[in-house]
């Protein structure tokens, strides 16, 4: 039995069983927690099977030797592309530093609700720790950011981000980008921002407004806007409530269309509800108003990431 830590299988290597060649390596699957290869995908006679690394007897530049017979390979689970995300679709810190699947992509299992809490908690803790270590040199700007509410009022300006004519269908996430100008401690600056807007169906609207109209307040608690449950357009902050990454609108094989955050694989439905992953709260709804001509304006509120409760910070 070979040592599997650090295995670097080559895509297109010949795969041999105890009784002769069976096919070739078509993909590599990694465990996103250990950052090690967990399976190779063996392509044989037009089918692809997930073969666990424990079955690998030896591997060199051109050949992977398995410790099973060729008749046993079809018994391994089939590789179904929709069950996985590739390293081009998700950013898992250090994954591609550890595994070189050349020439090709590394796959990780698409997260499912039934994953154990312990596993998820470990993953969250690990990635948070890595983020803190990597971000340490930038601690002063972060401190300034965190302390901003203590010395600056919240920014309640309305931003024109586009027109509802861009939204062709109900319950579909549509991204709007805009440039936001602001003044930091020294300079006037401009930042590229993005929000998501959904034209909500009655069912989605009911889910979003399950607690009634949504009220937004300034830094001293005065009401700056109320989103009414009768307005079908809903805007979400473009930042994932977990750690602030940008997320995308994607297809999921069982859940249909979802918002997917590539950083740690949080998944949200069209109403912003968390379906899977480490996100501690739903997507953050923003104040929105729609002109008679369909112009969309939002207040680009910033909320603290990583908190179960919504805490406004800008």
* Residue of 39, 78, 79 whose CA lies nearest to 55: 39
CB-based contacts of 248: which residues, under 8 Å, 6+ apart? 259, 260, 261, 262
**Cβ proximity to ligand FES, 24 vs 302, nearer residue:** 302
At 257, phi and psi to the nearest 5? -80, 135
**Cβ proximity to ligand FES, 16 vs 193, nearer residue:** 193
Tell the smallest beta-carbon distance from residue 131 to ligand FES (Å): 9
Tell the smallest beta-carbon distance from residue 197 to ligand FES (Å): 19
Q: Give dist(CA 100, CA 109) in Å, integer.
A: 17
3-state helix, strand, coil in the chain (%, to 5): 20, 40, 45
**Cβ proximity to ligand FES, 16 vs 281, nearer residue:** 281
Tell the smallest beta-carbon distance from residue 1 to ligand FES (Å): 36
**Cβ proximity to ligand FES, 167 vs 263, nearer residue:** 263
Pairing of strands 14-17, 63-66: parallel
Q: Give dist(CA 285, CA 236) in Å, integer.
A: 5
**Cβ proximity to ligand FES, 106 vs 240, nearer residue:** 240
Tell the smallest beta-carbon distance from residue 119 to ligand FES (Å): 15
Q: Give dist(CA 174, CA 234) in Å, integer.
A: 11
Specify the 3-state DSSP secondary structure of 247.
coil
Q: Give dist(CA 312, CA 300) in Å, integer.
A: 11
Cβ atoms of residues 204 and 171 within 8 Å: yes
**Cβ proximity to ligand FES, 51 vs 240, nearer residue:** 240
Tell the smallest beta-carbon distance from residue 133 to ligand FES (Å): 16
Cβ atoms of residues 252 and 277 within 8 Å: no
Tell the smallest beta-carbon distance from residue 293 to ligand FES (Å): 34
The residues binding ligand FES (CB under 6 A) are 240, 242-245, 261, 263-264, 266, 277-279
């Amino acid at each position: 039995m070979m040592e599997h830590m650090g295995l670097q299988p080559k895509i297109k290597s010949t795969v041999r069983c105890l009784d002769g060649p069976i096919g070739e390596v078509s993909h590599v699957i990694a465990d996103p927690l250990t950052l090690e290869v967990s399976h190779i995908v063996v392509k044989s006679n037009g089918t692809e099977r997930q073969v666990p690394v424990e079955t690998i007897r030896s591997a060199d530049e051109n050949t992977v030797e398995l410790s099973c017979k060729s008749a046993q390979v079809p018994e391994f689970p089939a590789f179904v592309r929709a069950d996985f995300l590739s390293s081009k679709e998700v950013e898992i810190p250090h994954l591609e530093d550890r595994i070189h699947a050349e020439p090709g992509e590394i796959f990780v299992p698409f997260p499912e609700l039934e994953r154990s809490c312990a596993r998820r908690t470990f993953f969250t803790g690990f990635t948070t720790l890595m983020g803190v270590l990597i971000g340490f040199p930038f601690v002063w700007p972060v401190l300034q950011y965190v302390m901003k509410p203590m010395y600056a009022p919240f920014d309640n300006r309305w931003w024109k981000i586009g027109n509802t004519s861009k939204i062709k269908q109900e319950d579909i996430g549509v991204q709007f980008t805009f440039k936001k100008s602001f003044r930091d401690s020294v300079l006037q600056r401009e930042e590229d921002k993005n929000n998501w807007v959904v034209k909500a169906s009655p069912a989605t609207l009911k889910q979003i407004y399950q607690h009634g109209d949504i009220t937004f307040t300034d830094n001293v608690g005065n009401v700056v806007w109320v989103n009414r449950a009768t307005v079908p357009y809903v805007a979400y902050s473009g930042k994932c409530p977990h750690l602030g990454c940008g997320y995308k609108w994607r297809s999921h094989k069982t859940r249909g269309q979802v918002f997917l955050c590539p950083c740690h694989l949080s998944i949200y439905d069209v109403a912003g509800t968390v379906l899977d992953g480490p996100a501690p709260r739903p997507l953050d709804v923003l104040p929105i108003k729609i002109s008679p001509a369909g112009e969309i304006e939002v207040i680009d509120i910033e909320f603290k990431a990583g908190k179960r409760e919504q805490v406004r910070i800008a």
